[in-house]
Amino acid sequence: MSDADEQRKPDFVDRTLQSFDHVLDVVHDKVLRPLLIAGRAVAFGFIVLLAALVLICVLVIGVMRLLNVYLFAGHEWLSYAIMGALFLTAGLLIWRRRRPVSLRKE
């Protein structure tokens, strides 16, 4: 064999490192990437949930302030009665839509 043939042929170390690199790429694509995507989904889900909770609290406080100060000044009990009726109606609608565990479609 000539020197040019020996230089073109990958040696044992190069082939081993290429195989190891291929195995690491496969592990990354099949295992780590789905775990990272799931972790991001959970993290962003918590962020969206927290933002929605803050928004709901701010809206409830704003509506109560609007009712107490501008619509029913001096009759705060009416504001509480209206908000209570709204929350009761929403709760009853949600409660009505529930299904027993045995009847849920899987």
Q: In this predicted model, what pLDDT tens digit does every residue of 66-101 receive, in sequence order?
A: 999 988 888 889 999 999 999 999 999 999 988 877
The pLDDT value recorded for residue 2 is 57
Q: Where are the domains of the chain?
A: 3-103
CB-neighbour burial class of residue 31 (10 A; exposed 0-12, middle 13-18, buried 19+): exposed
The pLDDT value recorded for residue 1 is 52
CA-atom Rg of the chain in angstroms: 32
pTM of the shown model: 0.59
The pLDDT value recorded for residue 36 is 92
